[in-house]
Amino acid sequence: MSAWLDPVPWLILLPLIWATLAFILGPRRGGRLAMAGLAIQLGLAVYLATQMMATGPRVHSLGGWGAPLGIDLLADGLAVAMLLLTQIAALPLVIYARAYFSASSTASAPQWEGAPRRMVPSDQFWPLTGFLLAALNALFLSADLFNLYVTLELLTLAAVGLVALGGKPSQVVAALRYLLVSLAASGAYLMGVALIYGTYGTVSIAHLTPLIGTQPPPAIWLAGGLMMTGLLAKTALFPFHFWLPPAHGGAAAPVSALLSALVVKASFYLVLRLLLEPLAPMAEAVSWLLGLLGAAAILWGSWQALATRHLKRLVAWSTVAQLGYLFLIFPLLAPDGLALQAGVMQAVSHGLAKAAMFTAVGVLMLATGRDTLDGLAGVAGRLPLTIFALGLAGVTLMGLPPSGGFLAKWLLIDAALGQGQWPWLIIIIGGGLLTAAYVFQVLRQSFLTAPESTHFQPVPRSMEWTAFMLAAASVLLGLRGVEWIELLAVV
Amino acid sequence: MSTGLLYAMTGVLLFVLGMGGLFLRRALMTKVLAFNIQGSGAFLVLVGLGQRSGIPDPVPQAMVLTGIVVSVAATALALALIRRLADNDMGTGDEP
Amino acid sequence: MNALLRGCTVLACLGLGLGLAWSMLELPPAPIQMPGLVASHMDQSGVDHPVTAVLLNFRGYDTLLEVAVLLLALLGMLAAGTTPLHASSFKEAPMLTALARALTPIAVLVAGYLLWAGAFKPGGAFQAAAVLAGAAVLLRIAGLLPSWTTPADGLRLALAAGLLVFLGVAASGLALGGLLAYPPEWAGTLILLIETSLTVSLALILAGLFLAGPDSRPPEEQS
């Protein structure tokens, strides 16, 4: 087959091209370009998935050199599962963002004292989003530790730019904190790469896995520890979660959705990939620690979500909690693959549900003009579709059947029981109950009667529908998720 | 101890100094400087450890060039955000 | 932060440093030796300098993404917002002005040399762009170059041109069997094309990071 038609490089090239073109077109332009680009990317990802199911994993040697001289891209089941999630979640978000920015600039442009002149929050949204998606696709496909460092930095800078979008002082503070944490984390990761290159003379994952073997020297343990710590900080796993709520809770709604649904998953994916392949000898030593941190994240994140009175903060804290589930899989990883399937199912269903939740909350905030739970009174009557979307997304987060979240938790419980590790059940079920508590808090508030004076801004229908579609997808995933899981068998 | 290894040791020292600075210093500018020192340390280890046998290796040298540009970009963004923050403080601090 | 936590952080950093240094001491030689591998492929790389060959050919993909990272820094800055910077915000300094006028042509010359030299000795697009951007910063401080808040149409095109050319070359490599694959006989020309357009764009991006900097003066001084 001709390399022209190989979807692997195009999944990285396309978003880079449309992001660059969107920048050249100018501020606020490029929305249509983004939608067209993403539609093609989605097609490519589906095509790649079907192709891969038939013929096995795909390697694309950049420049035709091949590792270890050149850099290889690798599309295996895990990578393609994440690629599918990225394109599927991003397409509705882009449609939503177009409506969101036109609505929020015509309604009440978020102005504050000392706002720079001629600044609109959507100014650089399209190119930043394009580079963000390019970074995600490049990261999922990369099979080279140093190249992964570059993709991580690309991702960080795009995400920080998106958090700062609009330049509100609180956003700039959150963006700066996020940037500094990310940079320290990247530094630790790079140090690990330096040690690995020094020890083995290569950074190609495929070459490293047999070289590291089962008895690596101390330098590799230190390298692994540094890389893992850096990646956990980027994933915002408890106790590194402190930067996430202000960054995700303060950004524009489509940005929060992109960050919570996709960006934090990227570094989780790397932790998983590294512990499954080159750093496998470390996995046993750290898996319990990761599981315990995950459990702490579930409890602490849910508790904070329950305590806050701000809508977006609530959803952001819920991300902290839901990320915890992803790390519960590590003590349960076994050859039967159940825990791995649970992890990917949780990443995908949380990605879709959290995108739905942030978009729905964005609708509510635009309608009420406020970011508090108390401001929600009466919205259920005015925006039933959005509240329905919020409820459906909540069903997925709680893990009720038939949602994708249910499938994920069911697989996780299955894995835990199969290995006799029943204490994790308490965390899984307890976390579900806490999730139910904070989701119902939002729903209850929205069904209260609004005071007479309440005025609701009109909200574009397309925003409500995209939120609903994302939520519905996260629930229906439970019915069709098996096919997604089958992808993982391709290694 | 070879020259390359000596560079790598210096790199370790810079790396932990930078790491400590990032954790312990509160001033934002100092943190940005600390990040640069930490990064330089990692670069030195990458180049030094890779060449500890004494043969020049172009691969880590090219990687470090890439890394330097990446850290320049990150530093620039951090500085721009810090200035934006200072700008806001000055713009709104004195007003009622 | 209390003293105990500070002490623990210092101890942890110290322990990490000692551990890292110790772990490096007794490492056996690396099983994969890249220098030989690079040397044996130099004749297909299109350039004579191994670092340039790695940077723009063997690991050219890293460089492609890195150009995007640099453009992103500028985008992030624009996203956070800039305010106009006045030409008068720097004091009149005749010496500085004269220096800037004298050094700029030399800087352009040096940048041209660095770009050309990159093919066979240390140098290349990034070094050339850094020198050019340095000249732009000097001109700005001397008040000879205006700043901007939002790049105009032409400037945006010039800022992105380097990345766009690089992407174009990368994509056309697909016809040859891989992203960024150059035919050996064309490799030198293509690398020069990429490096030249990168020099212009990178110089503008690096200069832009300074020229588009937000104004830090209180608003009453702004007109």
> Nearest Cβ partner of B20 from C9, C27, C53?
C9
pLDDT tens track for C171-213: 999 888 788 888 888 888 999 999 999 999 999 999 998 887 5
pLDDT tens track for C71-93: 999 999 998 876 544 444 566 78
- Residue of chain B with shortest Cα separation from C82: B84
CB contact under 8 A, A161 and C79: yes
**For the residues A62-90, what does the mean pLDDT come to?**
94
The pLDDT value recorded for residue C83 is 55
Residues of chain A neighbouring B43 (CB-CB closer than 8 A): 190, 194
A161/chain C closest Cα distance in angstroms: 4
d(Cα C156, Cα C182) in Å, to the nearest integer? 28
CB contact under 8 A, C65 and A154: yes
CB contact under 8 A, A147 and C65: yes
Q: Which of B26, B18, B36 is nearest to B75 (CA)?
A: B36
For the ranges A48-52, A104-108, A183-187, B34-38, the lowest mean pLDDT is seen at A104-108
> Nearest Cβ partner of A62 from C19, C24, C180?
C180
User: How many Cβ pairs within 8 Å bridge chains B and C?
Assistant: 122
B6 inside 8 A of chain C by CB: no
Residues of chain B neighbouring A204 (CB-CB closer than 8 A): none
Q: Inform me whether the pLDDT recorded for A16 exceeds 50.
A: yes
CB contact under 8 A, A173 and B95: no
For testing the chain B interface, which of A152, A155, A176, A242 should be mutated: the one with the most B CBs within 10 Å? A176
CB contact under 8 A, C214 and B83: yes
Q: How far, in Å, are A145, A295, C134, C145, C158 from residue C139 at the CA level?
A: 40, 57, 9, 6, 19
Half-sphere exposure in the Cβ direction for C10 (13 Å, CA): 8
Half-sphere exposure in the Cβ direction for A6 (13 Å, CA): 25
The pLDDT value recorded for residue C221 is 42
**For the residues A169-176, what does the mean pLDDT come to?**
92
DSSP for A342-371, written as a single string = HHHHHHHHHHHHHHHHHHHHHHHHHHHS--
3-state SS of chain A is CCHHHCHHHHHHHHHHHHHHHHHHHCCCCCHHHHHHHHHHHHHHHHHHHHHHHHHCCEEEEHHHCCCCCCCEEEECHHHHHHHHHHHHHHHHHHHHHHHHHHHHHHCCCCCCCCCCCCCCCCCCHHHHHHHHHHHHHHHHHECEHHHHHHHHHHHHHHHHHHHHCCCCHHHHHHHHHHHHHHHHHHHHHHHHHHHHHHHHCCCEHHHHHHHHCCCCCHHHHHHHHHHHHHHHHHHCCCCCHHHHHHHHHHCCHHHHHHHHHHHHHHHHHHHHHHHHCCCHHHHHHHHHHHHHHHHHHHHHHHHHHHHCCEHHHHHHHHHHHHHHHHHHCHHHCCCCCHHHHHHHHHHHHHHHHHHHHHHHHHHHHHHHCCCECHHHCCHHHHCHHHHHHHHHHHHHHHCCCCCHHHHHHHHHHHHHHHCCCCHHHHHHHHHHHHHHHHHHHHHHHHCCCCCCCCCCCCCCHHHHHHHHHHHHHHHHHHHHHHHHHHHCCCC
d(Cα C175, Cα C153) in Å, to the nearest integer? 32
pLDDT tens track for A17-60: 999 999 999 888 889 999 999 999 999 999 999 999 999 999 99
- Residue of chain C with shortest Cα separation from B49: C24
- Residue of chain A with shortest Cα separation from B76: A157
pLDDT tens track for A222-231: 999 999 999 9
Contact C66, A150 (CB under 8 A): yes
The pLDDT value recorded for residue B92 is 40
CB contact under 8 A, C149 and A118: yes
Residue position matching structure tokens 């030593």? A285
Triad A41, A45, A47: Cα angle to 5°? 115
Residues of chain C neighbouring A200 (CB-CB closer than 8 A): 30-32
The pLDDT value recorded for residue C89 is 56
> Nearest Cβ partner of C51 from B24, B58, B83?
B58
Q: Inform me whether the pLDDT recorded for A114 exceeds 50.
A: no
The pLDDT value recorded for residue A18 is 97
CB contact under 8 A, B57 and C53: no
CB contact under 8 A, C63 and B94: no
Per-residue confidence of chain B (96 residues) as pLDDT tens digits? 788 999 999 999 999 999 999 999 989 999 999 999 999 999 999 999 999 988 999 999 999 999 999 999 999 999 999 988 887 664 443 322
- Tokens matching residue C129: 């762009």
Contact A360, A383 (CB under 8 A): no
- Residue of chain A with shortest Cα separation from B23: A184
**For the residues A449-468, what does the mean pLDDT come to?**
87
C166 inside 8 A of chain B by CB: no
Per-chain mean pLDDT for chain A: 92
- Does CATH place domain B3-91 in 1.10.287.3510? yes
B87 inside 8 A of chain C by CB: yes
Q: Inform me whether the pLDDT recorded for C220 exceeds 50.
A: no
The pLDDT value recorded for residue A207 is 96
- Residue of chain C with shortest Cα separation from A139: C65
Residues of chain A neighbouring C175 (CB-CB closer than 8 A): 2-4
Residues of chain C neighbouring B84 (CB-CB closer than 8 A): 80-81, 214
Q: Which residues contact A191 (CB under 8 A, 6 or more apart)?
A: A223, A226, B15, B41, B42, B45, C20
d(Cα A473, Cα C35) in Å, to the nearest integer? 51
> Nearest Cβ partner of A157 from B8, B45, B73?
B73
d(Cα A299, Cα A294) in Å, to the nearest integer? 9
SS3 assignment, position A447: coil
C98 inside 8 A of chain B by CB: no
The pLDDT value recorded for residue A121 is 61
CB contact under 8 A, C24 and B20: no
- Strands A58-61 and A72-75, sheet pairing: antiparallel
CB contact under 8 A, C38 and A69: yes
- Tokens matching residue A446: 């929205």
C10 inside 8 A of chain B by CB: yes
C200/chain B closest Cα distance in angstroms: 16
Question: Helical H runs in A107-144?
Answer: 125-141
Q: Which of A367, A445, A362, A299 is nearest to A97 (CA)?
A: A362
Q: Which residues contact B93 (CB under 8 A, 6 or more apart)?
A: none
User: In which band, very low, low, confident or very high, does the pLDDT at A482 lie, cut at 50, 70 and 90?
Assistant: confident
For testing the chain C interface, which of A12, A44, A65, A209 should be mutated: the one with the most C CBs within 10 Å? A65
Residues of chain A neighbouring B28 (CB-CB closer than 8 A): 176, 180
- Tokens matching residue A266: 């990227």
d(Cα A194, Cα A188) in Å, to the nearest integer? 10
Element (H, E) at A209: helix A205-212
CB contact under 8 A, C126 and B53: no
Q: Inform me whether the pLDDT recorded for C151 exceeds 90.
A: no
CB contact under 8 A, C59 and B94: no
C92/chain A closest Cα distance in angstroms: 27
Residues of chain A neighbouring B89 (CB-CB closer than 8 A): 169
For testing the chain C interface, which of A6, A18, A23, A73 should be mutated: the one with the most C CBs within 10 Å? A23
> Nearest Cβ partner of B59 from C6, C38, C69?
C38
CB contact under 8 A, C60 and A62: yes
CB contact under 8 A, B49 and A197: yes
User: How many Cβ pairs within 8 Å bridge chains A and B?
Assistant: 102
- Tokens matching residue A342: 């649970």
The complex's ipTM works out to: 0.94
Contact A260, A248 (CB under 8 A): yes
For the ranges A349-353, C123-127, C218-222, the lowest mean pLDDT is seen at C218-222
The residue that leads in pLDDT, A470 or A480, is A470
- Residue of chain B with shortest Cα separation from C208: B76
The residue that leads in pLDDT, B16 or C217, is B16
Percent of chain A whose predicted confidence (pLDDT) is above 90: 79
The pLDDT value recorded for residue A67 is 85
Length, in residues, of chain B = 96
B50 inside 8 A of chain A by CB: yes
The pLDDT value recorded for residue A116 is 42
B15 inside 8 A of chain C by CB: yes
- Tokens matching residue B14: 């810079």
Half-sphere exposure in the Cβ direction for C69 (13 Å, CA): 27
pLDDT tens track for C2-25: 889 999 999 999 999 999 999 999
Residues of chain C neighbouring A27 (CB-CB closer than 8 A): 150
